[in-house]
Chains A and B, each alone.
Chain A
């Protein structure tokens, strides 16, 4: 029953533990599958679709798809890389992102993914949505302009902090993160030490008074691309 599962990822036969998802099984073998909504320790969400791979030729989100025996998985075909660029460009035009003066620059996972995928400017037209900022809380603020709806804060607050400070409201284009109060973050039980606060991949959920603390050149993605920690061997790094 608990025998390891054998599957092939990018031509290499790998073993996965029962219950492991493809993204996890690949990671163990040093293959980094790009991701945004996925965060180790949180229940998989499957919303950004950046982690899409092909399983026996069919596109599937690798963060929610369990590894199965005999699967033939491709993670980095030119076609998949093109899909990923399209998703990243969609996210970049959907919100109002301003990398050059964002506090998260150099630490932002969306920006890092864009660099990793060689995006200099999105091909799509900017949608310039009207979005708001909630700076009511003394220590924390939300800038909806930069939110990518990954649900990391929602999941972390619920499952790690046991609080339910965040949840989505609205549907489709109008979907956004809301707080567990009539309107303001200040009226919730959120706390600076909540796991939910540090977990935002972009500059949407920020701590006040600590912006730009790390000098340019020393930030997470200044010297190595996102995912480098998983890509151990030079052979897998060349698959980019």
Chain B
């Protein structure tokens, strides 16, 4: 038996040339085959790739979707994002628990089903949603969940759960998903008529330096959140020494409430890949990697087919020539495995290298030493689409859209308490109030702009523009009505960061847990006025001291609600009349001792 397993694992490793840098793919394949990664499998992978077994263990233990424990034939991952919660996730969760007779984190005795929670799976506009193995199920209800389990028990085939196909390419035979694009507003840049290949041909009629100049002239800034000028990043990468440069497309889309990259990958992958090829030509790279989040595995076959088509057309994989220049470029897809931090560009690179998704120390920056120490340019999906349009229509056309500091349009993923959730392409500079109006969010009381790492703003800020210099967002806009509790929302986001922190540095790993502890005390009515200063100070220290963007933004949910919704906090905190600490609960403190001694306190109970 063991011998058989080993043979199969060895052939998986051979498929990836026993390359330790493809460890994530190897582990994913092993899990696909055996359902989990056993101790024997770890030993065998380590042997085949000639690495210490603890390295394999280290990688497996980092990712949410990899398991060392046997799991059910079908794993249901219910998205427990805040928006899904507001849409009735609890009722769905209760239904799953009831019909399966197990709690979350468990597997049924017959080994058929495992039940788990997943953070935002990128379906906030059609939640509550779940992943059933790789199949996305949207708009779940309690009854729907019961029916789903009944059906699965009959055929055990998640694909058969998809009865109505979604719009656009979601209905393509290689995707076959019930997911909807919900494109509500088409703008001038991304969702206007597109002629595949034209931009790349035009790029090749220019020199790489001219292409970079064009992008610089357009003043394009990264759409992934940080807003770094794309042309400058390309220039750095081009200027760095190293023969094997890389272009990486960041399709990790993990920021809660963001789902616009999913729509781009569904509807215009040709544009994304063309953008990568242009970037490759500009910086002098011949290889590209798309880092696709594990949640979007259902798009993988389709994307592979598009890549194949482009190779057949000669645009990828071979020498591609215009009248003036030739170049080679090819792309591979790297699947992620459930880790928000892997959207951070250096963590993403670690993950592509088959390592734990720890961010790297900077300097060196990826432009100097990125993937396998080679100069690497990481760009967001939407950024690469903008590149194509800039080449096609010109930098001047692009830069007159939007605002001076934020030219162009932005794709917004809008969800929550609004009538028309979905994807909107709007010029930068549009006021948040106008966005809310378009989305039918008549009753908005609080809006989380920029996802968990962004800001919670109240109506006093609705007149502000969406832009890098105003309300900045990588695309996520979550709307909350007046009946929602902003502290519970902040609490959820903080829990999210604690779960998703890589744990490398002290302030992020420990500080957020401490922040959550105090926030919970306040929510439970045991907080004191001084606790607000404590939150403020601790939050600011975590921001200042953390090693990467995750920790540097993780206190934002608390800090921005403290700033914009202070009265909500003030209502909850009070000075203890006896001068004691309200947070101290003698019975709680005695609980463990009572349990151990099996005696209750005669004084305090």
Contact = CB atoms under 8 A, between A and B. Distances in A.
Contacts of A94: 506, 509-510
B511 A90 contact: yes
Contacts of B541: 83, 86
Given A83-B544, A173-B501, A179-B54, 16 more contacts: A47-B504, A47-B506, A47-B547, A86-B507, A87-B507, A90-B506, A93-B510, A93-B514, A127-B510, A149-B509, A167-B55, A169-B54, A172-B503, A174-B503, A175-B502, A181-B54
20 contacts: A45-B361, A46-B361, A47-B506, A47-B547, A49-B506, A49-B545, A52-B544, A61-B547, A83-B545, A90-B507, A90-B514, A93-B510, A93-B514, A164-B54, A165-B54, A171-B503, A172-B502, A173-B513, A180-B54, A182-B39
A3 to B, nearest CB: 19
Contact of A167 (B57, B339, B501, B511): B57
A212 interface: no
A98 interface: no
A25 B509 CA distance: 29
Nearest to B583: A125
B510 A171 contact: no
B293 interface: no
A156 interface: no
A66 interface: yes
A27 interface: no
Interface string B462-502: 00000000000000000000000000000000000011111
B361 A171 contact: no
A115 interface: no
Nearest to A84: B545
Contacts of B500: 172
Contacts of B544: 52, 59, 83
Given A164-B55, A172-B499, A44 B61 contact: no
A19 B213 CA distance: 32
B314 interface: no
B363 interface: yes
Interface string A84-125: 001100110110000000000000000000000000000011
A46 B504 CA distance: 9
Nearest to B53: A180
A132 to B, nearest CB: 15
Shortest beta-carbon contacts, A-B, top 3: A175-B503, A90-B510, A164-B52
Nearest to A158: B52
A64 interface: yes
Which of B498, B503, B517 has the largest count of A CB atoms less than 10 A from its CB? B503
B503 A173 contact: yes
A174 B334 CA distance: 26
B568 interface: no
B503 A149 contact: yes
A48 interface: yes
A160 interface: no
A46 B541 CA distance: 16
A232 B23 CA distance: 49
Interface size class of A (residues with CB under 8 A): 35 or more
A166 interface: yes
A122 to B, nearest CB: 10
Which of A47, A48, A93 has the largest count of B CB atoms less than 10 A from its CB? A47
Contact of B361 (A52, A64, A175): A64
A48 B506 contact: yes
Interface in B540-555: 541, 544-547
Contacts of B71: none
A4 to B, nearest CB: 19
B542 to A, nearest CB: 9
A178 interface: yes
Contacts of A90: 506-507, 510-511, 514
Contacts of A148: 506
B498 A172 contact: yes
Contacts of B99: none
A170 interface: yes
A170 B503 CA distance: 8
B510 A181 contact: no
A167 B498 CA distance: 21
Nearest to A68: B363
A45 B547 CA distance: 11
Interface in A23-47: 44-47
B513 A59 contact: no
Interface in B336-367: 339, 341, 356-357, 361, 363
A44 to B, nearest CB: 7
B545 A52 contact: yes
A161 B16 CA distance: 29
Contact of B58 (A48, A52, A125, A168): A168
A175 B39 CA distance: 19
